[in-house]
Structure 1
């Protein structure tokens, strides 16, 4: 079991590392590549676009060929593209490399969640996903520090060489340690060529759709916070860069501690209780922001709302992801890819629409907290987890 957890953790960590490690080098990247501010912001978006465009294909391949080939291929693509990004001589090359980097990270992400679904039961999976979320929350704090230390002696391409080395390690782990986890019955299903009544897991079930919505709203909320936090903390609240870093580290610590506490909470409380608690924390964060804003209270109260927001996401994400994957033993790869695509796409679309509508940072965050908590609470109450383990769609096939 340890080998699967080790491989899954490293596969998932490629995704946030490629976002946060190079941030400290942005000024020098812009200068060397003669890139505009828009192009630098687009480098973040195009990385997510690369992830989103490949996840569906990666999920299909993972279900038909296997999880291990997708993990190895994704890690290799990530490694090569990281080297290409470090070798870029102009902005176009850099953006292309970032897009390909997203393809590699997205493939690894899908493979990791499919492996977790294959190897763990519902309770174990929820616990592991919560711990994984806790580790992921540390990356935005640690990665920029590591990047800063690297750049004390080396130029910015060394940041992408570091990413390439990570990709090599993940590729080796996936090749030498990881064993294939794809269920054997998928092969039997794929080999049926006579008249039959085939029972196939469906993605049109309302329970799966509800959990896709809940996880997507949660990710949208946390990514909106990450996106607007500099404007709120340094702009509206008046903190300097050093204080901003301390506050971000503090909220990351809240996320990490809550995530690592979730497995113990699952031993005491039901999954539904933790899901409800996560949305109540989102609602409390929204209420605190609204009261502080409209009653002109001390804006330092915003910091408490940020802590509630991070804790709410940390409590609910692992459980909701586990429940979404639970019905799919055969099509776990596709389920993982649909979850990933929806989460990334909804977040990017929401942030873009709010920006295009010229909504300020605080109202952008407040809106997603209100919408997310209300819709998610309704779905949790109205569409509980079914008592049976699988959901099927019955179809007829012929030779």
Structure 2
């Protein structure tokens, strides 16, 4: 089962690699395509938006045609998008490439999380989801440095050639070793299953856990979006120091995720949801207290931002695994549809929440503290919902 989970991880990594690898090269891409850097930066939320909304379409396809075929389609699209980005001569061509990559990732993400639901349930599924989400944080830790080295040696286009090679390599692995896990009794749908989506959305249990994931992800997206300005422009860190701080935080989340996998086995999922609520609330309090109670001369120090962030992002590790397993547990015969809807809410909802707080007339730290508070509230609602449940539900 461990090798199967690692196979699914190789698919999930396509998403964060598509974002973090080229972060250090945004100015070079803008100069190379003769376009404002703001245009290149806009491809990050666009990528996430396409990735989130596209899962609504990918979910039914996974249930109708199987996990493995759609994984191969997603990998092929990812390779094509990476080649288009690597050879882009002007801004619209690069934009199209990022849209293609977003469509590809929505396919592979649904396949990965459906695969976990096909083979595992209960606490085992929670540990697998937690491992997948926690292991993703090694990408923010290492990918920016790798992207910077590749760009320095071969130019910014080398990052997208690297993504092309990764997609081809994973395609070979999927063809040779990824089994088809779709259950024989999976419900097929003739078209976009609006009725099935509506039925799932009427379940308060599903919404509670899906929005808990959205809150945790939105908190992390807000931190990532604001970190360059807070730490470099205001805090005075160099690009190398920023990369070290950014990478250390990614490794921290991964270590907490390993701990959470052990905690789930001993004390269960409700405890982890409560811990996620408390860590995000603690981060909010620390960040707000540092901004409003400490002297102004201290406000630019990196520790006043990164220490509360480190406390709060632990909430992501505590929340995502248990919440995802609770949300998808009743849908064994609709795993693709339910995974797609959960992924859409998590990705699009988290991005929307982060964008909303960043658009408000607030300081960067206040905006992040607000998103931390919202994430804590949504995790609290999920914890309350989990306390009302008894036993392990494997089918509905």
TM over 0.5: yes
Question: 1:395: which partner in 2?
Answer: none
Report the alpha carbon displacement of residue 361 of structure 1 after superposing the two structures with TM: 1.1
TM-score using structure 2 length:
0.91
Matched residue, 1:374: 377
Structure 1 length as normaliser, TM-score? Answer: 0.90
Aligned CA RMSD, in angstroms, stands at 2.2
Matched with 2:227 is 229
Deviations 1:340-395 (A, max 9, x none): 21122123222333343332211111111112212321342245363351564xxx
Q: Which residue of 2 aligns with 1:317?
A: 320
> Aligned-pair distance for 1:6?
2.4
Residue of structure 2 in register with 1:334 after alignment: 337
Alpha-carbon offset, residue 301 of structure 1: 3.8
| 1:227 Cα deviation after fit | 1.1
Q: Deviations over 1:155-185 (max 9, x none)?
A: 2222111101111122222222111111111
Would you say the 8 A contact 1:49–1:99 is kept in 2? Answer: no
User: 1: CA distance between counterparts of 2:29 and 2:348?
Assistant: 27
- SS of 2:183 mapped into structure 1: coil
Q: Give matches, 1:83-98, under 5 Å.
A: 83-98=83-98
Instruction: Name the CA distance, whole Å, in 1 between partners of 2:388 and 2:80.
Output: 42
CA distance in 2 between counterparts of 1:2 and 1:250 reads 26
Number of the residue aligned with 2:48: 48
**SS state at 1:186 partner:** coil
Residue by residue, what CA displacement relative to the aligned partner does 1:288-335 show, whole Å, maximum 9, x if unpaired?
112112212554343321111121211221111121111111111111
CA separation in 2, counterparts of 1:233 and 1:118? 42
Which position in structure 2 is the counterpart of 1:143? Answer: 143
Matched, 1:358 2:368: no
Higher helix share: 2
* CA distance, structure 2, for counterparts of residue 159 and residue 344 of structure 1: 24
Contact 1:288 1:302 survives alignment (8 Å): no
SS of aligned partner of 1:386: coil
What residue ranges of structure 1 are gaps of 5+ in the alignment?
Answer: 192-199, 393-399
Q: Does 1:125 align with 2:128?
A: no
Aligned residue for 1:211?
209
Any stretches of 5+ residues in structure 2 without a counterpart?
191-197
2:247 equivalent in structure 1: 249
Aligned length: 384
1:94 shift after superposition: 0.4
Per the alignment, residue 266 of structure 1 pairs with 264
Supply the distance in 1 between the matched residues of 2:129 and 2:225 (Cα, whole angstroms): 23
Partners of 1:10 and 1:281 in 2: CA distance: 29
Say whether the 8 Å CA contact 2:145–2:243 is kept in structure 1. no
Residue 20 (structure 2) pairs with residue 20 (structure 1): yes
Report what 1:294 is aligned to: 292
Contact persistence 2:284–2:308 (CA under 8 A):
yes
Corresponding residue number in structure 2 for 1:167:
167
Contact 1:201/1:330 (<8 A) preserved = no
Which has the larger displacement, 235-244 or 211-220?
235-244
The change in CA–CA distance for 1:385 and 1:62 in structure 2 (over 3 A counts) is: farther
Q: How do 1:74-113 and structure 2 match up within 5 A? A: 74-113=74-113
Greater radius of gyration (CA) = 1
Residue 283 of structure 1, aligned match among 257, 281, 284: 281
Residues 203, 386 of structure 1: CA spacing in aligned structure 2 closer, same or farther, 3 A cutoff? farther
Flag the 1:80–1:369 CA change in 2: closer, same or farther, 3 A.
Answer: same
SS of equivalent to 2:149: helix
- Partners of 1:181 and 1:28 in 2: how far apart? 43
